[in-house]
Structure 1
Amino acid sequence: MNIKSDILKTAKRTIDLERDAIDNLGKLLNDDFADAVSLIYNSKGRVIITGIGKSAIIANKIVATLNSTGTPAVFMHAADAIHGDLGLILEDDVVICISKSGNTPEIKVLVPLIKNAKNKMIAITGNENSFLGQQADYILNAYVEHEACPNNLAPTTSTTAQLVIGDALAICLLELREFTSRDFAKYHPGGALGKRLYLRVNDLSSLNQKPQVAPDTNLKEVIIEISEKMLGVTAVVENDTIIGIITDGDLRRMLTKNDSFMHLTAKDIMSSNPKRINAEAMAVDAMELMEANGISQLLVEEKGKYAGVVHLHDLIKEGII
């Protein structure tokens, strides 16, 4: 018996089963799905999502996806709802109940209470003829032929189907709301993803020192400026305008080319027309500009005036790279 081969065969069978189930979901879509999306989009309230067991876990994930894409949502455990948490549901809220069978005891108790409060209810269920299916205003059919579990017991394929329907709901709502990457950043300010979306060059360069010399600054003072400001670079500035840049590399190249160099000034060794970026540009744009040109620093301008330096290490430290 080849254990590795059997493991891989089981894994492939599981993936194939779930893939086929997801593929079939597209064939089950009907007007109820479009009407449910419109109901949520036009609602003045929130989306309350409830379920029991594994469906409750899926409900939590759908809530998180909706909240992060502009649709306010709250999770309510079906068992807790009938023991006080029903007060979470407000007058204008839309309720989504998730249940594979649609006939669990908790759902049978909860659904009439939601109906009595006159809240609109959407069912995500694999059984349209179930108690939940019969009571819901809209049914999102999550039928699967077989669980990936060989005993057809552990929720696997069915929870995948529920998750995919939740994602489809969220993306439809996202597009209706014309939800942009800037909107996304408002809800994801932490971590590398959020920083890529909202962090600007000035947020980084303003924390650095601002190395600069005049065109006629002597070589010794240039070296001191680069060393003291610890960015491996200095701008050459005239009337607050960038006219050149001197890097550690420029100094090394100068030393290999000249036997006598103490008479040299900044304008003799600077590189003219250096790469630069606007202070209000996104930090991710600075990263792309550095990568495209194989450099590790960019001079920063604000309204045409020299404003500082952004370094590759700044981007690494903030998780942009």
Structure 2
Amino acid sequence: MKLAEANQNNILPMSDETTSIVQSVLQVEAEALLQLSRETPPEIAQAIHSIHESTGPLIVAGVGKSGHIARKIASTFRSLGKRAAFLHAAEASHGDLGIIHDDSVVLVLSNSGETTELADLLAYCRQYKIPVISITATKENTLARSSTIAIAHGKVPEACINGLAPTTSTTVALAIGDALAVGFSHLLKSVPEDFRRYHPGGKLGLRLLNVGDLMVAGDRLPIVAPTTPMHDVVITMSSKGLGVALVIDGDKTLGLITDGDMRRNVERLWDSQACDLLSSAKPVSIAKMTTASEALKEMTSRGITCLLVHDRSKKTCGLLHIHDCLRAGVE
């Protein structure tokens, strides 16, 4: 990027030296992850099964930079359906040990494995026979020796200028935490609907909304019989505010009457019944568990404003209007 272009966009230009530093950091951390993928500790798979088999919440503990990584790992597990909580190792000695259930598994992070704040936590787990999984550098440190399952990723070169600040080691620990969480979700056989349950907000939640979340159902449906006079059909449409009427004969759905249908038949409208305005074409219906995004695309491609909604038995259970999708922010 030229200097003029950089200043125009309020971006400071990177010198060759700075660029080299950035590339070096990324290469050091990437190589550590690649090495881990080539020589994956078998204890990771054992830990996944242990977490899956436990019925209590997963407690993820650490202090300092490891504590920050532990907090994120706990959050990821919650996202994927496992009850999990972060425990600050130092606070554990001051009453927070009570967060650990008898059927919990405790996941502890410490690169050195010699963090003094872990002593009371490990003693508590040993006394009450709480399984401990550790993510640490080697199997020779105190944490690893005190663990039921020790995931030792090996000593990795820190990417910082002095080779001291936790950089590469925290990246590796985070990646192992992600592997544990994703592996757990596979054993749990998670599906997108499970993920949406824990992420109802934001664009991700909108992408995972399904038709059943937005459809009109029950007493809100503008249902009329085939022999209903159009005068009464209009009243029903107006009172429900959807601009359509759903024509149902017993358990059979015959179709929809729209504002457009009425305009096209205005000359005979008041002498007609609901069945007289039905199109011969089969009404378009969509499954209740279809994503709202797919339903919106269906309506847009067909140039229609609403869809019938059916359940697994193919019975009509609702009505989805394009306005409901747009109001919800579905794209």
TM-score of the pair, normalised by structure 1: 0.76
Could you say if the C-alpha distance between residues 309 and 19 of structure 1 is closer, same or farther in structure 2, counting changes exceeding 3 Å?
same
Q: What is the identity, as a one-letter code, of the residue corresponding to 1:311?
A: H
SS at match of 2:13: helix
- Given the alignment of the two structures, is residue 124 of structure 1 paired with residue 132 of structure 2, yes or no? no
Whole-angstrom distance in 1 between the partners of 2:108 and 2:233: 69
Alignment of 1:35-114 (within 5 A): 35-108=46-119, 110-114=121-125
Bigger mean CA deviation after superposition, 282-291 or 100-109: 282-291
Bigger mean CA deviation after superposition, 89-98 or 9-18: 9-18
Q: What is the identity, as a one-letter code, of the residue corresponding to 1:123?
A: S
What is the Cα deviation at residue 205 of structure 1? 3.5
Q: What is the identity, as a one-letter code, of the residue corresponding to 2:304?
A: I
Whole-angstrom distance in 1 between the partners of 2:308 and 2:271: 23
Structure 1: any 5+ residue segments left out of the alignment? none
Whole-angstrom distance in 2 between the partners of 1:179 and 1:301: 24
Whole-angstrom distance in 1 between the partners of 2:200 and 2:306: 25
Whole-angstrom distance in 2 between the partners of 1:45 and 1:262: 65
Q: What is the identity, as a one-letter code, of the residue corresponding to 1:48?
A: I
What is the Cα deviation at residue 125 of structure 1? 1.2
Contact in 2 for aligned 1:25/1:141 (Cα 8 Å): no
Q: What is the identity, as a one-letter code, of the residue corresponding to 2:116?
A: P
Partner of 1:204: 216
What is the Cα deviation at residue 313 of structure 1? 2.0
Contact in 2 for aligned 1:21/1:144 (Cα 8 Å): no
Whole-angstrom distance in 2 between the partners of 1:211 and 1:293: 23
- Given the alignment of the two structures, is residue 188 of structure 1 paired with residue 198 of structure 2, yes or no? yes
What is the Cα deviation at residue 301 of structure 1? 5.6
Whole-angstrom distance in 1 between the partners of 2:283 and 2:198: 34
SS at match of 2:308: strand
What is the Cα deviation at residue 190 of structure 1? 3.4
- Given the alignment of the two structures, is residue 271 of structure 1 paired with residue 273 of structure 2, yes or no? no
Q: What is the identity, as a one-letter code, of the residue corresponding to 1:296?
A: T
Structure 2: any 5+ residue segments left out of the alignment? 4-11
Could you say if the C-alpha distance between residues 225 and 198 of structure 1 is closer, same or farther in structure 2, counting changes exceeding 3 Å?
closer
Contact in 2 for aligned 1:67/1:73 (Cα 8 Å): yes
What is the Cα deviation at residue 242 of structure 1? 3.7
Count, aligned residues: 314
User: Identity rate of aligned residues, in percent?
Assistant: 34
Partner of 1:20: 31
Partner of 2:188: 177
Q: Deviations over 1:19-65 (max 9, x none)?
A: 32222221342232222233333345443221001211211222222
Could you say if the C-alpha distance between residues 5 and 232 of structure 1 is closer, same or farther in structure 2, counting changes exceeding 3 Å?
farther
What is the Cα deviation at residue 126 of structure 1? 2.5
Contact in 2 for aligned 1:45/1:90 (Cα 8 Å): yes
Contact in 2 for aligned 1:108/1:131 (Cα 8 Å): no
TM-score of the pair, normalised by structure 2: 0.74
1:157 to 156, 159, 168: 168
What is the Cα deviation at residue 8 of structure 1? 5.9
Whole-angstrom distance in 1 between the partners of 2:238 and 2:252: 22
What is the Cα deviation at residue 245 of structure 1? 3.1
Partner of 1:317: 327
Q: What is the identity, as a one-letter code, of the residue corresponding to 1:191?
A: G
> Pairwise CA RMSD of aligned residues?
3.9
Contact in 2 for aligned 1:215/1:238 (Cα 8 Å): no
- Given the alignment of the two structures, is residue 296 of structure 1 paired with residue 305 of structure 2, yes or no? yes
